[in-house]
Structure 1
Amino acid sequence: MSLLNHKSVRRMVPRWRASTSAMSSMEFASLKAAVQPSGNISAQVAEVTKDFMETPSMGNAAEVLSTLAVSEFREAGADAANYVLSHSAHAPQLLLELARNTRRNSLTNFRQKSVKETRQLLRLHPDNPMLWSDIARHLATIGKKAEARRAMMTAFHLAPNHRWMLRTTARVMAHLDDGVSAHKLLANHPRTRFDPWLMAAELACAQVAGRAPKFWKQANDMLKWGGVAPAHLSELATAVGMMELEGGKRKNARKLVHMGLIAPTENVLAQVFWAKENKHLNDGFGLDALVSSSVDAFEAECQLSIGKGNLQDAVKFAQGWNEDEPFASRPKYELSYIACLLDDYELTEKTADDIARLNGARDPTLEMNSIFARLSSGKLSKEEDSEALAKIHDQLQLAISSGGLDQYHAIANLGLWHYRYGEALQGRELYQLAIAAAQKSHQHNSAALAATFAAREAILKMEPSANEDLVRAIKLSTASASNAGKFYVQKLERLIAEPGEAKRILSPDFRPLRPEATAQKTMRIERTDGKYVIMLTSSKL
């Protein structure tokens, strides 16, 4: 039973992407006055292309390629790309790579360099800051945090005034739990007061560090007067909006979020979705459509799919998010949560191992998920794995006696242990204790999940209490308003109808309801002789 806390705080800190992916973003484009009509990328392409044709130069060519990087008109950059390549001796390495990819008309499909390739290139180009950043990202992914910081600082010192390098270095510091240094870097840099991307990062890092932002007034002035394309203001407007939201100025926050969503980055989409779910920010932005139409909004797509109870899609987006940020813990927590509800026990255990490698220690919550997966998988034999089972039992007892946030998770897992390898009656009693403990802590989603898995075990054991336990699971799941929890309840509705199909139903590929059947009522609950009974309208959906 996963007890992931979805209400963890999220800040608008910059993304840390591989350099080849980052170069196709607006973050690499120069600040340019917005072209009318506002947000019309074709008009911007026309203007910068006209400037280049009238006055061919390296600067104008860079403007063309940067603008085309976020448009569908990449073929229009052939002349600019050829100009850069024909003057390669005077072109920066990053601009050369941008030109080559534009000419191949494959800018949005940059192939991620392997670690081996990156190291080989770094030996040839030790002064390339992008390669150092990519190496730092790899080191962070395998848990070598100190080495990652040194590599990132090398990258920064090679390009100390580059916007993306500044933002990425601050992101790395925040990732390594040094929010104060991240904020100082941005607050003290002379470029920050003039750049909306850097101001957005400064505001977010100030929140991480628990410090007052230095450029609050300048940020608000820039949003008020504009003068740059909406895409350049997206993260700044959202960062200011989040601070206004926390300060209780909801009306102003909504206006700012609206501004941020004119031409949003995927980071903005994820932040606004988080605020909608956790800060009760009313939608009215067409957020679902914006998320669905975005190419790389893995985090927001994952949360959107979880909210809809579509966990098969959610796990795909969570895996995309994890590949996009392999050094981060949050996508792995989401993967673990989804994997538990999909009965994907292998993925649940792998996620716990990945986090342990990142952090150098086992994560208590994911360790509980891993134990849940091992017990649920049915691979442990009471006779052949008695030592392993005894170790799990002792580990759960210790977690219970230690208290803390994972206590009721451990109680529920001990209930599962007894259902599978001990006494079913004791297992049910422990699940009831876990439900009560979660409710007392106002963890209603956790209480619903505990009730759901208690019902699963009762159904599998064909216990007389199975109907009653499922009724309780349905009620708690409905009260928690969790579509993800309802997803598993639907599995149990099928399981109680087809107990012989347990292996198929409790598998990652099983979809509880066919799309055309989702609106049909397949069961009802009646009270008979003082007891609740589930009445099935059909054994097949």
Structure 2
Amino acid sequence: MHRTEDFTDQISIWCQEGSLEAASDIFDTYLITGDSNLLRLANSIFEKHADEIPPRLRFAIESAHEPANDTLELRRSIAYRETDKNYVWKTIAVQKRRISEYPRDALAYLELARLYTICGHFEKAEEQLDIARSLAPENRVILRSTLKFYHIISDLKTGLGILRRSDRIRFDPWIQSAEVATSNALQTTSRFHNRKLVHQLKDGSVTRDSTELAMAIATLEKAHGVTERKIFKLVRQALPKSTENGFAQAIWLSNHSSREFLDRFPESKPSSEAYEAKLKLALAANDFQAAAGFAELWVEDQPFSQDAIIRYLNLLAVHTGPDQRSISFARRAAKIFNESWHVLNAALLLLVEAGELNAAHDVLIKLRRETPQGASRAFVQAAEGFYAFARGDFLTGREAYEAAAKTARQHRSNDLIVNSAMFWLRCEMVNGLISQECIKGISDRIDLAIKKGRLQDRHHLTNTWGAIKRKAAEVKLPESAPDARGEDLVTKTISQNLDDPELMQDAQLNL
């Protein structure tokens, strides 16, 4: 969600202008920030142009003053209408007319870029972003939105370069925090991760403007092996004034440490619309129904957040079961984010689980194309196996999972080995292909591998494994395997990987 601070420069200009169009811009800013002070400011200008207000705008203003129509509902309504591409294209036409009237309105080009992104026209969106930056190169909201766009199209490196070349990065903690988080995602060195800044944040009072930067620095500190005591000293400084993003990051840090968030900060509660934070707290409490609900709200509130989409699809696929709404959402997400292998992988999982095999096959083709080389290939190989088992091709399914295990082993990725083993065993169990005795032996090995694995992987692996065991409990398993040779392959491959002492040692070293 955008903040009033992101628009400070524009609001000042609009107030000086005092026109009907300026009041409309302030009103739009109120809708996306929820700041009632902006609504009052817009009204003070609207009153001077009462006879000039168009009917549609007048209706929107009156709706904003109705108690039942809070800004959250207005934003949801907008997000729902924008699932209709015809509506979006009509809005694009309106936005183009606006730009023809106000060709130097940088935010108008930004909005056009957002609309093109909804339709999957990323080249056109990028062109509009370039124009917006040329008109307002140091505008905070344009810079952060640009980075978000490059995250959507899986090109964070370009986005990071634009951020670093801006002058604003030298003094704006909102831009600095984005640089730190992006550098961490790309596993490159951040220009703002230095001891002087760390000590300044820890020893002083962290302002609201610096909370996201503080949380980003704390995340980097964790990655560099800094002790929990020092990390959470910084988190504790930032948490009281933290934004929704910062709050969610604090929960993530806690849940990937020796103590969960509510144990460390029992008095801290996220705001009513902090859906990501609420989702993570629900997951920590193993309340998957609540987590799925918060994931859906998060997606509605931030429909272009890949993290929100992936969480939503994975939760319904693995824990609560897909419904028609999530199936439609998975299809659409795979079309819009057709270059993001993370989103494609989550969409495929849900579509296969829902029995939508034709749609899943189309997604699988994209996933093969978009997944990079390296450890990530294990995901596409496991997806091949999951899909093959679903359509009854057990031999291909086993070969694919065997390849996934081999890839994960080559790249010494303990969590990928455990994850592929769990889903492979799930496919064997739900199809009644292996015996109860075999399952018991492998299950014990998986339990031990999770226990010995990295602390940061343990919680999500435990949750996933619990969901798979619940699913398997619904199936009547044979006392002896119908395919003894197949069972031997499964047992041998999974056991070899899970019992590898070197991999377990690597996992322990990465605690």
C-alpha spacing 1:370/1:190, structure 2 compared with 1 (3 Å): closer
Residue 475 of structure 1 deviates from its aligned partner by 6.4
Q: What is the CA–CA distance in structure 2 between the aligned matches of 1:396 and 1:357, rounded to whole Å?
A: 12
- In the TM superposition, what are the counterparts of 1:272-351 in structure 2 within 5 Å? 272-278=250-256, 280=257, 282-283=259-260, 293-342=270-319, 343-344=321-322
Contact 1:237 1:260 in 2 (8 A): yes
Contact 1:336 1:369 in 2 (8 A): yes
Aligned residue for 1:129? 106
Aligned residue for 2:439? 469
- In the TM superposition, what are the counterparts of 1:31-430 in structure 2 within 5 Å? 74=36, 82-86=43-47, 106-111=70-75, 112=78, 114=82, 115=88, 116-117=90-91, 119-126=93-100, 127=102, 128-173=105-150, 175-176=152-153, 179=156, 182-207=159-184, 210-213=188-191, 219=197, 223=201, 230-250=207-227, 251-278=229-256, 280=257, 282-283=259-260, 293-342=270-319, 343-344=321-322, 353-354=331-332, 356-360=334-338, 363=341, 366=344, 370=348, 373-374=351-352, 405-407=376-378, 410=381, 414=385, 417=388, 421=392
Write the letter of the residue equivalent to 2:246.
V
1:489 and 2:469 are equivalent in the alignment: yes
Contact 2:251 2:261 in 1 (8 A): no
Name whichever structure is richer in helix by fraction. Answer: 2
Residue 455 of structure 1 deviates from its aligned partner by 2.0
Contact 1:203 1:216 in 2 (8 A): no
Aligned residue for 2:486? none
Range moving further from structure 2, 432-441 or 108-117: 432-441
1:27-77 Cα offsets, whole Å, 9 max, x none, are 4569xxxxxxxxxxxxxxxxxxxxxxxxxxx9xxx9xx99xx778xx5x88
1:338-375 Cα offsets, whole Å, 9 max, x none, are 3332442867865664454235458499469738854x
Aligned residue for 1:505? none
Contact 2:133 2:142 in 1 (8 A): yes
Residue 135 of structure 1 deviates from its aligned partner by 2.5
Q: What is the CA–CA distance in structure 2 between the aligned matches of 1:157 and 1:390, rounded to whole Å?
A: 42
More RCO (CA 8 Å, sep 6+): 1
Gaps of 5+ in 2: 10-21, 51-57, 83-87, 451-457, 478-511
C-alpha spacing 1:221/1:361, structure 2 compared with 1 (3 Å): closer
Q: What is the CA–CA distance in structure 2 between the aligned matches of 1:85 and 1:394, rounded to whole Å?
A: 53
What RMSD over aligned residues (CA atoms) do the two structures have, in Å? 5.4
Contact 1:302 1:317 in 2 (8 A): yes
Aligned residue for 1:42? none
Q: What is the CA–CA distance in structure 2 between the aligned matches of 1:205 and 1:108, rounded to whole Å?
A: 28
Residue 491 of structure 1 deviates from its aligned partner by 3.7
Q: What is the CA–CA distance in structure 2 between the aligned matches of 1:397 and 1:156, rounded to whole Å?
A: 35
TM-score of the superposition, structure 2-length normalised?
Answer: 0.61
Question: May I ask how many residue pairs the two structures share in their alignment?
Answer: 417
Q: What is the CA–CA distance in structure 1 between the aligned matches of 2:290 and 2:164, rounded to whole Å?
A: 40
Aligned residue for 2:453? none
Residue 236 of structure 1 deviates from its aligned partner by 1.8
Secondary structure of 2:303's partner?
A: coil
TM-score of the superposition, structure 1-length normalised?
Answer: 0.58
Aligned residue for 1:457? 431
Contact 1:137 1:327 in 2 (8 A): no
Contact 1:28 1:164 in 2 (8 A): yes
Residue 457 of structure 1 deviates from its aligned partner by 2.0
Contact 1:411 1:430 in 2 (8 A): yes
C-alpha spacing 1:474/1:288, structure 2 compared with 1 (3 Å): farther
C-alpha spacing 1:222/1:352, structure 2 compared with 1 (3 Å): same
Q: What is the CA–CA distance in structure 2 between the aligned matches of 1:357 and 1:489, rounded to whole Å?
A: 32
Q: What is the CA–CA distance in structure 1 between the aligned matches of 2:360 and 2:222, rounded to whole Å?
A: 49
Contact 2:180 2:216 in 1 (8 A): yes
Q: What is the CA–CA distance in structure 2 between the aligned matches of 1:428 and 1:206, rounded to whole Å?
A: 38
Q: What is the CA–CA distance in structure 2 between the aligned matches of 1:97 and 1:299, rounded to whole Å?
A: 32
Aligned residue for 1:55? none
Q: What is the CA–CA distance in structure 2 between the aligned matches of 1:29 and 1:224, rounded to whole Å?
A: 28
Contact 1:298 1:321 in 2 (8 A): yes
C-alpha spacing 1:412/1:326, structure 2 compared with 1 (3 Å): closer
Contact 1:136 1:147 in 2 (8 A): yes
Residue 319 of structure 1 deviates from its aligned partner by 3.1
